[in-house]
Amino acid sequence: MSSKQIGPYSWRDLLVLAIIIGLGVFLVRLDNSSWHMLGVMIICFTVSISMMLPFMKEMQREEKTAREHQELREKEFASKYRPEESYITLRQEILKRDGYRCRQCGSFSGVEVHHIKRRLEGGSDTPENLITLCYRCHDSKHPGAREYYIKKYKREKRQN
């Protein structure tokens, strides 16, 4: 099978949907009323899945992107700062306090700990100055920073 797309669907998606709908149509045409009902339910279920499929794929892509950003940020942070055990513990406490959820938008994916008042501006590593944000909300607080670190990481990776 090729990996070509038809709109948001791959050939494999369309083939599976066609087979399931075909089964549903076959069952609908049978004289037995319980098989007829099962066929109708299969067709309705397949149609609803086919409408949700593009959204489910988009959510998977977003989760993958969030994981990649988180991994990249952790690698950058670990190589740059080598945080003390106390900060790692504090970070986990903040994430736990906030329910591993972004305090700005409520997202659970790609959460990070953000200093409300930056350390460069005299902010401290205290629970009162730390908040959990997802990578999107965190990026909105530091415009362009993530792209800078991604480019820097790729550049360093090529050099090594």
* Domain spans, the chain: 5-59, 83-159
Distance CA 117, CA 135 (A): 18
Q: Which amino acid is at 15?
A: L
Q: What is the pTM (predicted TM-score) of this model?
A: 0.46
Span 74-114, pLDDT tens digits: 766 665 555 666 778 888 899 999 999 999 999 888 888 99
Fold of domain 83-159: DNA Binding (I), subunit A (1.10.30)
What does the pLDDT read at residue 99?
Answer: 92
